[in-house]
Amino acid sequence: MQDKRFSIRTYGCQMNVHDSEKVVTLLEDAGLSAAASESEADLLVINTCSIRDKAEHQLYSDLGKLREWKAEKPGRIVGVGGCVAQQVGDRLLSRFGHLDFVFGTHHLRRVPAMLDGALAGRRAAWVGEDESQERFDLPARRPALATGPRRRAFVTVMEGCDMFCSFCIVPSTRGREISRAATEIDTEVRQLADQGILEIMLLGQTVNAYGRHDVRRGRAAAAGTMPFAELLGQLDAIPGIERIRYTSPHPLFYDAALIRAHGELEHLCPNVHLPVQSGSNRILEQMRRRYTRERYFEILGALRAARPDVAITSDLIVGFPGETEGDFEQTLDLVRVAGLVDSFSFKYSPRPGTGAAGMGAEVPAEVAQDRLERLQAQQRDQTLAYHQSRVGQEALVLIEGPSRRGGHQVTGRDLHHRVVNLDLCSSLEPPGAAEPGTLLPARVVGATPHSLLAAPLDPALLPGAEDPDFPRSRLKSSKRRADETESVDCAGGLAEDVLRVL
């Protein structure tokens, strides 16, 4: 397979993005190389999402169009993985004659063999549930993939979900909760640190439920797991790792130790993305979320007591069956009282086989749309207010690369995971002191609903430093750029079904 080239389309959450990274490693280990574009690829893999019906329909539309792509060059192969693959399984093969293989979320490591089979004319689907630790047993990532230009990496700590929220398809696409042995996680993070990774994002469908089944059954030592807070403590001590984040936690699994960790661990970042879904206790119960709005506020209060500058973001659903205007107003109220810095909000989308799918009491589409818009407008104002409150403060920005605006503006993330854009001196060509992966100290000088604008603390990096009149021109130019950035959409906003890389 030495001469074959592949391309991967990824939809959905960070877990899917990370699964695609794993497939890249597997394919490269099998001798393939990444194609510069799909038109040059011999193998196209689609990693699918089924969280809402729109995401699922995307696959059918993609597959329809791929008939032509396949016909253009004999021998081309199409594979489908991810949540739709897990759900629909081999029925995808019967429905789409030009599809070669299907792999579920537990079968990434079979991809090279399935490709081999497909090249020999054998079509196959692997979608059963695999409850063994073996599915975590994947080849170490290549340094280029692990580091990329960003020096940030995802690390899987647990997979699957046993919560069965009534709206959610994930328990049937990702299977039962399973936690990875802590020594494996530790080894992976140490390897990443050795490769220059500064920031890790720990991943799991209910990440802070890590180890809970083993701990409850008294078999944590045998399984090599431990409570999530302990795992964080262990990773915090790994030299070289500057920033630790995790996503997505569930409110049910915040205990005193996890709250304390936010106050004590040096590298645990002051941001928590804590999905709340609704502000109405009646709807939360119907959603089977197992907490109340009061408990949610209690957790936020405790987090803020431990770490006063923590930035809280969340996921919200509007138009869940039976949601009244009063319920929705409770959601607006929660977003305000909780002081959410940002949120992703979605219109409820019925998913087959879930508890809520048969509830009836549908909220009319135009009502759900109106609620979504009102919620997003309120969030936009709150996000802007938060960003404005940061103006004048210092921020340490992990640079990712050129901003969307281009020119001499670069973009990165601060400790709180906010997008920060920085205008730099135009003589930095390429901007060496601010190249991707640099931790750049800066001061926030402007705010938009999507991002912060900051100026580097080092005067030699400021726009205008190349000007003989500098530093007289400096303040003027920072201010002008703050105004210009007002209209630039840098963070992806709150659009529905965005590729969610927080």
Site string for ligand SF4, 233-252 (x = CB under 6 A): -----------------x--
Where are any strands of DSSP class E within 165-306? Answer: 178-179, 199-203, 243-247, 271-273
With binding defined as CB under 6 A, does residue 178 bind ligand SF4? Answer: no
Phi, psi of 305 (to 5 degrees): -65, -35
Q: Any contact of residue 170 with ligand SF4 (CB under 6 A)?
A: yes
Backbone phi, psi, residue 387, to 5°: -60, -40
Token output for 211: 């180890």
In whole angstroms, what is the distance from residue 383 CA to residue 379 CA? 6
Give the 3-state secondary structure of 306-368: HCCCCEEEEEEEECCCCCCHHHHHHHHHHHHHCCCCEEEEEECCCCCCCHHHHCCCCCCHHHH
Bridge-based pairing state of the strands 419-423 and 409-413:
antiparallel
Distance CA 469, CA 237 (A): 47
Contacting range for ligand SF4; rule: CB under 6 A; set: 25-33, 168-176, 336-344, 489-497: 168-176
- For the bound state, the minimum distance from the C-beta of residue 248 to ligand 5AD, rounded and expressed in Å, comes to 7
Site string for ligand SF4, 182-221 (x = CB under 6 A): -----------------------xx---------------
Let me know the angle formed at the C-alpha of 502 by 370 and 421, rounded to the nearest 5 degrees: 100
Q: Which is nearer to ligand SF4, 250 or 347 (CB)?
A: 250
Are 80 and 59 in contact by the 8 Å Cβ rule? The answer is yes
Q: Which two tokens stand for residue 370?
A: 């109106």
Q: Give SS3 for 226.
A: coil
For residues 210 and 348, which CB has a smaller minimum distance to ligand 5AD in the complex? 348
CB of 175 to ligand SF4, least distance (A): 11
- The answer to whether 159 and 185 have CB atoms below 8 angstroms apart is no
Work out whether 161 is an interface residue with ligand SF4 (CB under 6 A): yes
Phi then psi for 110, rounded to 5 degrees? Answer: -85, -5
Report the candidate in 48, 13, 42 with the shortest Cα–Cα distance to residue 27. Answer: 42
By DSSP bridging, strand 243-247 and strand 394-402 are unpaired
How many residues touch ligand SF4 under the rule CB under 6 A: the total is 10
Q: What is the smallest separation between the CB atom of 227 and ligand 5AD, expressed in angstroms?
A: 23
b or e along 473-497 (b: 16 or more beta carbons within 10 Å of the residue's beta carbon)?
Answer: ebeebbeebbeebeebebbeebeeb
If the CB atoms of residues 51 and 215 are measured against ligand 5AD, the closer one turns out to be 51
Helix (H) or strand (E) holding 81: strand 77-82
**What residue ranges bind ligand 5AD (CB under 6 A)?**
51-52, 167-168, 275, 277, 315, 317, 346, 348-349, 351
42 closest CA partner among 57, 58, 30: 30
Is 299 one of the binding residues for ligand SF4 (CB under 6 A)?
Answer: no
Kind and range of the H or E element at 220? helix 220-223
Q: Is 274 in the site for ligand SF4 (CB under 6 A)?
A: no
Question: From ligand 5AD, ligand SF4, none, which one binds at residue 75 (CB under 5 to 8 Å depending on kind)?
Answer: none
Contacting residue, 164, 404, 441, 479, with ligand SF4 by CB under 6 A: 164
Query: Between residues 247 and 382, which has the closer beta carbon with respect to ligand SF4?
Result: 247
Q: What is the DSSP string of 375-394?
A: HHHHHHHHHHHHHHHHTTSE
Type of residue numbered 150: R
Which tokens belong to 330?
């409770």
Cross-strand partners of 471: none
Q: What are phi and psi of 318, to 5 degrees?
A: -115, 155
Indicate the helix (H) or strand (E) that contains 440.
strand 439-447
Closest CB 288 distance from ligand SF4, rounded Å: 8
The CB-of-380 to ligand 5AD minimum distance in angstroms stands at: 18
Partner touching 51 among ligand SF4, ligand 5AD, none, CB below 5 to 8 Å by kind = ligand 5AD
By beta-carbon proximity to ligand 5AD, the closer residue of 315 and 370 is 315
Instruction: Please choose which of ligand 5AD, ligand SF4, none residue 161 contacts, taking the beta carbon within 5 to 8 angstroms, the exact cut-off set by kind.
Output: ligand SF4
Looking at 111, 165, 178, 274, which residue binds ligand SF4 (CB under 6 A)?
165
Name which position in 163, 257, 391, 439 contacts ligand SF4 (CB under 6 A): 163
> Does residue 248 have a cis peptide bond before it, meaning omega lies within 30 degrees of 0?
yes
- Check binding of 447 to ligand SF4 (CB under 6 A): no
Q: Cβ of residue 411: shortest distance to ligand 5AD, in angstroms?
A: 24
Q: Which is nearer to ligand SF4, 316 or 490 (CB)?
A: 316
Q: How far is the CB of 361 from ligand SF4 (least distance, A)?
A: 20
Q: Name which of 12 and 464 has its Cβ closer to ligand 5AD.
A: 12
Pick the closest to residue 477 from 488, 493, 491, 466 (CA basis). Answer: 466
Position 357 contacts ligand SF4 (CB under 6 A)? no
Q: To the nearest whole angstrom, how small is the minimum distance from the Cβ of residue 354 to ligand 5AD?
A: 7
Q: How far is the CB of 317 from ligand 5AD (least distance, A)?
A: 5
Q: Which is nearer to ligand 5AD, 52 or 174 (CB)?
A: 52
Question: Which of ligand 5AD, ligand SF4, none binds 10 (CB below 5-8 Å, type-dependent)?
Answer: none
The entry of ligand 5AD, ligand SF4, none that residue 52 binds, CB within 5 to 8 Å by partner kind: ligand 5AD
What's the closest the beta carbon of residue 353 comes to ligand 5AD, in angstroms? 11
Output the smallest distance, CB 259 to ligand 5AD, in A: 21
Binding site for ligand SF4 (CB under 6 A): 161, 163-165, 168, 170-171, 205-206, 250
